[in-house]
Amino acid sequence: MTTLKLAISESQIQECVGRLAQLIQADYQDQPLLVVGVLHGSFVFLSDLIRHMHLPIQVDFIRLSSYDESAKSSGAVRLHHGVRTSVVGKNVLVVEDIVDTGLTAQFLRGYFEDQGAATVRICSLLDKPVRRRTSVTVDYVGFEVPDQFLVGYGLDYNQQYRELRALYSLEARTDGS
């Protein structure tokens, strides 16, 4: 059995999202921005983030191979669904829920650069630096977290818990129940 332990509260998340939005806004000034959410984990974060930003933005989504140990060990990232919007000459901001090994972030940086984006930056609510397998730059990070599996605020475990308003670590129960 597993149990959920509060890791980051709703108010901590909201304060952090506001701070990230201000940083992003200051960096882009009034330049148009294409915000690309990585499905599915980023959709809650992205919807809060864009409502704190006062910039001319477009929103699109991209879907990659699901979190899967075999894909991780091979280092393969597979694109299931690219963006519909043209990225040529645009400032692209990739929005991630969490950067773990960094393979997804590295892949997306190369993907948008190859597609002709003017600039590519990555914003992730969470960062697990101890798990990193590449030296990819994450431009905006909400919280650095230790090597725990987190759920809530869009992040799932087997498609569960995305609706929770805070972030929780998933822990094995020790009382046998």
Could you list the residues that contact ligand IMP (CB under 6 A)? 38, 41, 67, 96-105, 149-150, 155
Helix (H/G/I), strand (E/B), else coil: 22: helix
Minimal CB distance to Mg ion: which residue?
41
Q: Please, which residue, 25 or 156, has the CB nearer to ligand IMP?
A: 156
Distance, in Å, from the CA atom of 98 to the CA atom of 143, rounded to the nearest integer, reads: 9
Q: Please, which residue, 50 or 77, has the CB nearer to Mg ion?
A: 77
Q: Please, which residue, 98 or 120, has the CB nearer to ligand IMP?
A: 98
Site for Mg ion in 32-91 (CB under 5 A): 38, 41
Q: Are the C-beta atoms of residues 103 and 119 closer than 8 Å to each other?
A: no
Binding partner at 46 among Mg ion, ligand IMP, none, C-beta below 5 to 8 Å by kind? none
- Nearest approach, Cβ of 166 to ligand IMP (angstroms)? 14
Catalytic machinery residues: 100
Residue 34 neighbours by CB distance under 10 Å: 21
- Nearest approach, Cβ of 125 to ligand IMP (angstroms)? 10
For residue 4, CA distances in Å to 7, 20, 52 come to 9, 26, 29
Contacts of 114 (CB under 8 A, 6+ apart): none
- Nearest approach, Cβ of 173 to Mg ion (angstroms)? 26
Query: How large is the angle between the packed helices 10-28 and 43-52, nearest 10 degrees?
Result: 60
Binding partner at 43 among Mg ion, ligand IMP, none, C-beta below 5 to 8 Å by kind? none
Amino acid occupying residue 151: V
